Structure 1
Amino acid sequence: MKAFVISAIASNQGKTILTTALLYNYRKSVRPFKIGPDYIDPQFHKTICDTNSINLDTFMMNKSQVKWIFNKYNNKDICIVEGVMGFYDGMDKACSAYDVSKLLKIPTILILDASGSYITISAVLKGLKTYKKDNTIKAIVLNNISSSMHYELIKRQVNEDFDDIEILGWIEKNLPCLKDTHLGLDLNDAKKDTLQKLSKEVLKHIDLEKLQKISVYTKKKNNNYPFEKIEKVNKKATIIKDGNFSFLYYDNLKVLKELFNKVEIVNPSKDEQISKDSDFVYILGGYIETQKAYDKIKNSKNFKDSLLRHVKDKRYVYAECAGLLFLSKNVDDKKMMNILDVSFTLTNKRNRLGYYYNQKGLKGHAFHYTKPIDTKNAIDILSKKKNSKGEFGAWKKENVYGTYLHTMFRNNLNILKDYFGI
């Protein structure tokens, strides 16, 4: 099989465009992965190739667990792993493209933006190659190339300076397909012909045979299960999921299916109801605080009534981020469910971004622009470092728990025990 990481020196260098083109090109035989906690890119991946994308996060999981996750899901001919930010960014949390590619022993393809440069590209590459001697950088793709002559200038210099780097090719500057989308392709609305055009133009000057030669990977066997054993329970779980509540790690879905006897997915935008025999409701993160999202659900009376019935029956609810907001009294002038005694306001600046710990040492990720009006009923502090100062980020009332923290379930079965009533 084949496997490789796509990385760069920073965000907005072309990782997503190259990943999109390759995923579409190999769509019948590819498994996408995403390094880190991101929810958005995996949704794009799924849209492009119709295969669920898997997060590889060496902050939330330990090394043996991430290796197990990769080996479990690399069941296709080609595995494409999209990096996060720059190649070494995230090393302080042990979750960079460098860390993950080294752990999995798969090569990295760097996409380098060559706008207004040629010899300096080789200097940048040297810096990346020498910063950590055990890096996995094996090849480069040059982005924003103005002409074939521009490409040859860079290629000549790189070949002169390196004998262990393959130059796979280049992507033209100002591609028509990118002009049409203004670099903001909404893949949820993308049509097949749009993706086909983008893939063809992006890969026009890239040697895919050479890419496959350097991406050979021998799949490892998952001999040991590095997690607490999951014992199935005779209970039913409900996942609240639609275009607004959409932040779901695919492996979390698999864990719930392994744990619960039955799992249903309820779409609140379609006013679907939670089953009366549901024991546990999981409300995903998303965008409920925005007007567009709020308008889609404000008239979903049947769904809301079924949630209130579920709470009245003292059944369990676990809600992340937008799910937390939905359970609150209100977000500014938007009335929410009034289940948790807290109100929020939407601000113009980020209030959290990055990895956090809760007071029980649970690792997770948070990213939000809302903040509570007051924290008198809060129960949990989220902090950047374990057992350090932070700010409140979770609320609980009887069997209902809402938190700003997104986390992974497979290595945190204690969450299921603490908050899922198991």
Structure 2
Amino acid sequence: MIDAPGLLISAPSSGTGKTTVMLGLLRALRDDGLVVQPFKSGPDYIDPAFHRAASGRASFNLDTWAMDAALLDGIATQAQGADICVAEGSMGLYDGVATRGQVGFGSSAETARRMGWPVVLVIDAGGQAQSAAATALGFKAYAPDLPFAGVILNRIASPRHERLARLGMEQAGLTVLGVLPRRGDLTLPERHLGLIQAVEHPDLEAAIAGYAEFLRENVDLPAIKAAALGAAQTGQGALPTPPAQRIAIARDAAFSFTYPHLLEGWRAAGAEVLPFSPLADEAPDPDADLVWLPGGYPELHAGKLAAAETFKAGLRRHAQAKPVHGECGGYMALGAALIDKDGTRHTMAGLLGLVTSYEKRKFHLGYRRAVLSGPMPGFAAGQALRGHEFHYSTILDQPDAPLADVFDADGNPVPETGSIRGHVTGTFFHLITPEAVT
């Protein structure tokens, strides 16, 4: 049974400061001697690595659109031994998809409701005072059955601003758990896919320590601990099974985006996960049964990847007889060429004919449901998969056979079908889970 109490940190929208609050809270609670289990609600590739740095424990995604009950229960078991769970929401609290004709399907609110975690709402009070209470009250009243712990007021400009904002919250009957003064130095660096990766931060440990000190000075930590609740998770659940016994996986600044629950499931089932670095011109282990190239930022390292002859030669040798799979950035690296934002063409591995360009940027974002037309490592043709796509690249050429029929969350077809050629497959979506076969 997993019965550690928890909270979910959310906000009315992106950009309100909830990641800063999350990281500071994780570290402050850890510094208080608690074992803290972090989670991320929704399909985010970057935040879990920051959570791990702050808490000292691997962070896992919980996604009520993509994951069935068994997988959610399996991921919840990762809280075994924790004193408290802290989850970070994505986008706004109620932002989800309309697949079932309901508001908030796949939202952070749905995650909080299922796990029994009260919501701490981070409100950006910049440019408003009592009006912030109307926003918070609306979020609390929108779903009366959703447990609601209180609010943290962010970007407060002065003592007078704080008094007015607190007065509004008191009028609305809302608990103020913290008041954060406006500070411009507490933002994390960003690029076109959101935050930079944790491994790229110039001084992540100092940043997180600073967030924790800031939270400790301005947030009622005892009240936050006392507000944590949770529904006991009695089911053991099931994590994903590995697609092979020995899996060589690219792992460096160019290839870093794999959902943590996949790797945990693979290892728990006894698979050997063998990291290697294409940026260091390392070849995958020649004894591996499968090579897996995750997503990441190959466009930022395209010249170095193009020059990594040992890596590319090892990849080609492996693909002669054994499977290779790439997701998003890994898919692009398996292609014929990648054109960077300056228009420079870089030769990739050439195991697929795919040519992609960042010179002509186009935003691709959303859940994906794929029905495989051919086999993919671990899955047979006809299997339905659920995943998420998030990139800015444009396909200039895709001559290989499509790997799957791919649809968005509402069932509309999307043109990014993935590719298959011999033992090599690739998709623009990041795999979250296979659908249960009925």
Same fold (TM over 0.5): yes
**Aligned partners of 1:134 and 1:247: how far apart in 2?**
35
Q: Is the 8 A contact 1:328 1:342 kept in 2?
A: yes
Q: Is the 8 A contact 2:129 2:164 kept in 1?
A: yes
Count of matched residue pairs: 404
Letter in 1 for 2:387: G
Q: Structure 1 residue 295 and structure 2 residue 303: aligned? A: yes
Instruction: Report the alpha carbon displacement of residue 101 of structure 1 after superposing the two structures with TM.
Output: 0.1
Name the structure 2 match of 1:146. 157
Q: Structure 1 residue 355 and structure 2 residue 367: aligned? A: yes
Q: Is the 8 A contact 1:5 1:82 kept in 2?
A: yes
The alpha-carbon distance between structure 1 residues 96 and 413, as it changes in their structure 2 partners (threshold 3 A), is closer
Q: Is the 8 A contact 2:247 2:272 kept in 1?
A: yes
Unaligned stretches of 5+ residues in structure 1: 415-422
**Aligned partners of 1:123 and 1:260: how far apart in 2?**
52
Name the structure 2 match of 1:106. 117
TM-score, normalization by structure 2: 0.84
Per-residue CA shift, 1:68-105, capped at 9, x if unaligned?
A: 31233353222110001111111535211111000111
Name the structure 2 match of 1:406. 430
**Aligned partners of 1:231 and 1:246: how far apart in 2?**
18
The alpha-carbon distance between structure 1 residues 27 and 347, as it changes in their structure 2 partners (threshold 3 A), is farther
**Aligned partners of 1:373 and 1:41: how far apart in 2?**
31
**Aligned partners of 2:107 and 2:134: how far apart in 1?**
22
Per-residue CA shift, 1:17-58, capped at 9, x if unaligned?
A: 111211221246222111111101112222333321101111
Q: Is the 8 A contact 2:178 2:220 kept in 1?
A: yes
Aligned with residue 281 of structure 1, among 287, 291, 302 = 291
Letter in 2 for 1:88: Y
Q: Structure 1 residue 209 and structure 2 residue 236: aligned? A: no
* Mapping for residues 55-66 of structure 1, pairs under 5 Å: 55-66=61-72
**Aligned partners of 1:110 and 1:386: how far apart in 2?**
28
Helix, strand or coil at the partner of 1:363: strand
Name the structure 2 match of 1:420. none
Instruction: Report the alpha carbon displacement of residue 181 of structure 1 after superposing the two structures with TM.
Output: 7.0
Q: Is the 8 A contact 1:35 1:82 kept in 2?
A: yes
The alpha-carbon distance between structure 1 residues 310 and 103, as it changes in their structure 2 partners (threshold 3 A), is same
**Aligned partners of 1:141 and 1:351: how far apart in 2?**
32
Q: Structure 1 residue 319 and structure 2 residue 315: aligned? A: no
Letter in 1 for 2:319: V
Identity %: 27
Per-residue CA shift, 1:141-167, capped at 9, x if unaligned?
A: 1011122332222222322322xx321
Deviates more, 1:242-251 or 1:356-365: 356-365
**Aligned partners of 2:129 and 2:291: how far apart in 1?**
55
Aligned with residue 400 of structure 2, among 377, 382, 389 = 377
Letter in 1 for 2:418: A
Letter in 2 for 1:257: R
**Aligned partners of 1:5 and 1:76: how far apart in 2?**
15
* Mapping for residues 37-116 of structure 1, pairs under 5 Å: 37-92=43-98, 94-116=105-127
Q: Structure 1 residue 3 and structure 2 residue 13: aligned? A: no
Tell me the C-alpha RMSD between the 2 structures: 2.7
Helix, strand or coil at the partner of 1:277: coil
Name the structure 1 match of 2:39. 33
Q: Is the 8 A contact 1:283 1:323 kept in 2?
A: yes
Aligned with residue 329 of structure 1, among 297, 322, 336 = 336
Unaligned stretches of 5+ residues in structure 2: 100-104, 340-344, 373-383
The alpha-carbon distance between structure 1 residues 289 and 158, as it changes in their structure 2 partners (threshold 3 A), is same
Deviates more, 1:268-277 or 1:16-25: 268-277
Instruction: Report the alpha carbon displacement of residue 179 of structure 1 after superposing the two structures with TM.
Output: 7.7
Q: Structure 1 residue 168 and structure 2 residue 177: aligned? A: yes
TM-score, normalization by structure 1: 0.87
Helix, strand or coil at the partner of 1:389: coil
Instruction: Report the alpha carbon displacement of residue 335 of structure 1 after superposing the two structures with TM.
Output: 0.5
Helix, strand or coil at the partner of 1:160: helix
The alpha-carbon distance between structure 1 residues 67 and 345, as it changes in their structure 2 partners (threshold 3 A), is same
**Aligned partners of 2:188 and 2:11: how far apart in 1?**
24
Instruction: Report the alpha carbon displacement of residue 120 of structure 1 after superposing the two structures with TM.
Output: 1.0
Aligned with residue 357 of structure 2, among 345, 348, 365 = 345
**Aligned partners of 1:109 and 1:405: how far apart in 2?**
31
Helix, strand or coil at the partner of 2:207: helix
Name the structure 2 match of 1:418. none
Name the structure 1 match of 2:342. none
Instruction: Report the alpha carbon displacement of residue 178 of structure 1 after superposing the two structures with TM.
Output: 2.6
Name the structure 2 match of 1:310. 318
Name the structure 2 match of 1:417. none
Q: Is the 8 A contact 1:394 1:404 kept in 2?
A: yes
The alpha-carbon distance between structure 1 residues 128 and 389, as it changes in their structure 2 partners (threshold 3 A), is same
* Mapping for residues 180-195 of structure 1, pairs under 5 Å: 187=198, 188-195=201-208
Helix, strand or coil at the partner of 2:388: strand
Deviates more, 1:185-194 or 1:363-372: 185-194
- Which aligned runs of 4 or more in structure 1 are off by greater than 6 angstroms? 179-186
Deviates more, 1:68-77 or 1:390-399: 68-77
The alpha-carbon distance between structure 1 residues 261 and 140, as it changes in their structure 2 partners (threshold 3 A), is closer
Instruction: Report the alpha carbon displacement of residue 384 of structure 1 after superposing the two structures with TM.
Output: 1.4
Instruction: Report the alpha carbon displacement of residue 226 of structure 1 after superposing the two structures with TM.
Output: 5.4
Aligned with residue 260 of structure 2, among 250, 259, 263 = 250
